Amino acid sequence: MHPKTNTAYKYMEGLFVRKSIDALQAEAGQTGAKTLKRVLGPVSLVALGVGVIIGAGLFSITGTVASEYTGPAITLSFIIAAIGCCFAGLCYAEFASMIPVAGSAYTYSYATMGELIAWIIGWDLVLEYTVAATTVSISWSRYLVVFLQGAGIDLPHAWTACPWDGGIVNIPAMVIVVLMSLILMRGTAGSSFFNGLIVFLKISVILVFVFLGWKFIEAENYVPYIPENTGRLGEFGLSGILRGAAIVFFAFLGFDAVSTAAQETKNPKRDMPIGILVSLLVCTVLYILFAHVMTGVAHYTEFDGQEGIAPVAVAIAHMGEQDAQGIITPAYPWLNKAIILAILFGYCSVIMVTLLGQSRVFLSMSRDGLLPPFFSRINPRFRTPVHSNFLFMIVVSLLAGFVPAQVAGEMTSIGTLLAFTLVCAAVLIVRKTMPDVHRAFKTPFVPFVPIMGILTCLCMMCFLPADTWIRLVLWMLVGLDIYASYGRKHSQLEPDRAYRKGDTVLNVLGLVLAVLSVITGLWHQQTVGWEADKTLLVISFVFAFTHCAYYMWRLWHQAKAHG
């Protein structure tokens, strides 16, 4: 039955119409050639989560955080960040067992807070997955260059860097995106096996690093465990640990991608909570062990100024016997190459899972009519949304080839934190509005857990720089434009309406975002200095003025149409 005639949908006129749980559960139970193939079990889901979580954060962020903010107490930062992730993970797990449909936080918001909020969070997730895949693919290219240099092969800089980094195009970054996309197009079963193999290799290298490095730990490297604060907020001491938690929190991002595979899971009500929570637990343990060994074999000051894989290389260089002159002969020189290989393979799984999550969010939004039907077409042979995968393969590969990693990387986390915040809020709402809906898993200690999740995520967002907020506001404005011009007119819940209740809210929201564009632009310029480059300030003002005019025109046109 076509969605717009399905009585299971709960009609609440306006842009805050909600999709009923009955409709979502019916959608989850659909079978046939035009549906996603259910091939994933709990082990595959855990591997999926571990595959996307363990990435650049473990191999690079740890050194920077230890040297600049926490010292050896980086392990405490990981614990605090893990607790924050756990709050959000518990909320995700309840929704994943209650609404086992592809779309992650977008679908959960649609069922609890209405269409407009669902669009905002769905568009936000698209940003998260796009910039994450772009950033990791660029980083993958850099590690490939380093690895090949160790083998005596030098790739031309012009073909391994974007124009802003002194090159022409980053071909390796583009190639890895294309390869991972082709694997996804072939089917989730094959990509799941590939991901599982990568995760096994990646975890094996981490465990080898911990096992071999443990006997070289020097107790004096942990003294003082919490270095004294320098007098500036966030530089060591308690505030340093908290700032470190905000930074290493980014290393946990990605477990929400597990929930996007709900419709490809054999028993989602049971397996989705397992996949989310166990993958978080596994990664937390690995992160703490890795950071403990790294700061134990070398003093935290040794990691100052290191970039990329340098912190790991420094740690490996200290795993050996020291002679009378204080020179250390590394006992495991081969381990550095093994770590680089682990990063290369590990980044493949991160890219693949983020591309999977991106296409599944678009699939859900398209089925609801908020995006063109192109994105929800399932290939009858491979049972995957190949059209959507192909489009994102083109978009992400072009971004990876021509955009600097810094620009893409700054946007990765804020979108996820916003998604976490809304999912935690949605649990509070759904416990009041839908208390009788069956849940295979229930978030414990409500309202404490979701409230703490909200506060934790908002706190993390406050630590992010102003230019990140500018790009988020601009992205939200573009998304609101698409919804105002297409989504609201093609919604499957309230089709064929020139105006819908809530249009005023939509237009006012556009004006609010336009004002925020000015505020964040001024905030950023104040932070970097008025003598610094003003490109972002100009862009934010242009967006603000054009969108003020557009949404004021919509308000005027709406008032005129209603007489």
pLDDT for res 545: 95
| Pairing outcome for strands 328-330 and 320-322 | antiparallel
At 210 the three-state DSSP class reads helix
Token pair 């969070």 is found at 121
> How sure is the predictor about 261, in pLDDT bands with cuts at 50, 70 and 90?
low
**Residue 419 is which amino acid?**
A
Distance (Å) of CA 359 to CA 125, 362, 378: 11, 5, 11
**Distance between CA 340 and CA 335 in Å, rounded?**
9
Q: What is the DSSP letter of 160?
A: B
Helix axes 74-98, 237-248, angle to 10 degrees: 40
- Cβ atoms of 410 and 468 within 8 Å: the answer is yes
Q: Which of 286, 318, 342, 348 is nearest to 136 (CA)?
A: 348
pLDDT for res 306: 42
- Cβ atoms of 134 and 396 within 8 Å: the answer is yes
Q: Which of 122, 94, 95 is nearest to 371 (CA)?
A: 122
Give yes or no for residue 550 having a pLDDT over 80: yes
Cis before 224 (ω within 30): yes
Q: Give CA torsion, residues 78, 83, 88, 90, to 10 deg.
A: 130
For residue 233, what are its two tokens? 């907020």
Stretch 307-330: mean pLDDT: 70
Q: Which of 554, 559, 493, 561 is nearest to 14 (CA)?
A: 493
pTM: predicted TM-score of the whole model, two decimal places: 0.76
- Cβ atoms of 293 and 280 within 8 Å: the answer is no
The CATH code for residues 38-464 is 1.20.1740.10
Cis before 447 (ω within 30): yes
User: Tens of pLDDT along 359-385?
Assistant: 878 888 888 889 888 887 777 776 777
Q: Which residues have CB under 8 Å from 164's CB, separation 6+? A: 403, 404
Q: Please, is 560 exposed, middle or buried when counting C-beta atoms within 10 Å of its C-beta (0-12, 13-18, 19+)?
A: exposed
pLDDT for res 510: 94
pLDDT for res 50: 78
User: Tens of pLDDT along 213-232?
Assistant: 898 898 899 988 999 888 87
**Residue 470 is which amino acid?**
I
Q: How far is CA 522 from the centre of its chain?
A: 27
Q: Which residues of 158-167 are buried (b: 16+ CB within 10 A; e: fewer)?
A: eebbbeeeeb
User: Tens of pLDDT along 127-137?
Assistant: 878 887 888 88
Distance (Å) of CA 228 to CA 49, 70, 103, 236: 36, 10, 45, 6
Q: How far is CA 47 from the centre of its chain?
A: 17
Phi, psi angles (nearest 5°) of residue 511: -65, -40
Stretch 166-191: mean pLDDT: 82
Helix or strand run (H / E) with residue 205: helix 188-214
> How sure is the predictor about 3, in pLDDT bands with cuts at 50, 70 and 90?
very low
**Distance between CA 428 and CA 534 in Å, rounded?**
42
Give the chain's mean pLDDT.
79
pLDDT for res 465: 74
